[in-house]
Structures are given as structure tokens and as C-alpha cells.
Amino acid sequence: MLKIHHLVLSRSERIVWLAEEMGIPYELVRHLRDPATFRAPPSLRAVTPLAKAPVIEDGETVVEESSVICNYLLDRHGDHGLRPVAGTAARRQYDYWMACAESTLMYPVLIDLLSVLTQSNAPGLQAFAMGEYQTMLEHVERSLAGGDYLVDNRFSAADVMVYYTLAMAAGTAIPFPTHAPMDRFPQVRAYLARLEQRPAWQRTAKACAA
């Protein structure tokens, strides 16, 4: 059976959600962060040298990194309508958002989060993060204009990836005093609320709760 290592308050929630959407049986192994350092415990380092989540074990195969795991599961168990056909414009759009979720979109979120965690809330750094937040959220807002989802107006694994980044920005995935101007972006807020109505997301929220 697939084993999903879930570090509480981390991006491993994406993998649980995708497995729920696909109906894949799995064993959830919970790892708790050190309350003083917010770092992963030694139990996760025993699975992966980096002690980072998400990571899965599928028999003898160990797979790490959110987008890699998502595509591994889709390759292994079938697309379930959650990934466009290779070679299409929709697939290029899907690949873009899968990568963007952990790179361009995540950039201001991590600056903001680390500033809070390290109490190094320098005005210049926060000003830079706010500018990046504005650019990032404007981009997602425009991309959702006239549609409910990011790729071909159909729910896909790309929405699973992007959701968590936006939920971090909103301060709901990891509770912290975020500076993201979510109130300026109604399409983004509606998108998050829409995804949270999915039964698989709700089962994931319950399973992964801190």
C-alpha cells in the first residue's frame, strides 16, 4: 500500500488530497514539527536525508517533491481526468502551473513566512514581499477570469498544487500573520472557497489536521 509521510503543517497535504481525489488506498504516517524550531523530527529524516515533506513510499520506491509525486501517482494509477493529454496546449498550461506553484508563486510566501518565524521583519524585505504578492496574486486573478479552474477550466492536479501556495499566502494552510493582500483579489478568494467545497479536500483537511 502507498505510504504518505505527512509532516503536519506542510505541503504534504497536497499528496493526501490527490490520493483522495484519485481513490488510491494509502497509509498516512504523521510527523510532528519541533514546536521550538518548526523543523521536521528525526522520524522524517529516517525516510529522506533532507527531512522534507512530502515524501511517499510505494513498495521499494521512494519519491519526493510535490509535483514529482503528483505526476508519479498519475503515471502509476491513471490520469483520472486530472492531467491533460501530453502534447496539447492544456498540458503545457498544466506543466506551467505545476512548476509555478513551487517557484514564482511561492517566492513571496516564503519570504513572508520566514520573516515572521525568524522575527526579522525588516521593512525593506516586507516591502519587496508585498510587491511580489501583488504581482503573483494579480496573475492568478487574471488567469481565473471567466473560469473556475486554472487549466482548461477543469479541475486538475495543478489546482491541488496552486491551492496550497495560495492557502499559505492566506494564512490558512500554516496559521501565521501573513501580509498577503487577499482582500483585493475576489477571484482568488472564490477559487480557494470553491476548492475547499470538494469532498476530497474536506476529507484531507480532517486527516491532516494539526
* DSSP per residue, 127-183: HHHHHHHHHHHHHHHHHTTT-SSSBTTB--HHHHHHHHHHHHHHTSSS-S-----GG
Q: If you average pLDDT over every residue of the chain, what do you get?
A: 95
pTM over 0.75: yes
Domain edges within the chain: 2-82+201-207, 89-198
- The band of 210, judged by pLDDT with boundaries at 50, 70 and 90, is confident
**Considering the domain 89-198, what is its CATH architecture?**
Up-down Bundle (1.20)
Please report, in angstroms and rounded to a whole number, the separation of the first and last CA atoms in the chain: 24
36-64 per-position pLDDT tens digit = 888 999 999 999 999 999 999 999 999 99
Q: Pairing mode, if any, of strands 26-31 and 2-7?
A: parallel
pLDDT above 80 for 121: no
Cell numbers at 128, concatenated: 519587496
Which of 188, 158, 155, 187 shows the shortest CA–CA distance to 170? 188
Question: Cβ of 36: how many Cβ atoms within 10 Å?
Answer: 6
- What's the pLDDT at 32? 95
Phi, psi of 59 (to 5 degrees): 65, -125
Interatomic CA distance for residues 59 and 80, integer angstroms: 22
C-alpha cell at 49: 536525508
Q: Kindly report the CATH class assigned to 2-82+201-207.
A: alpha beta
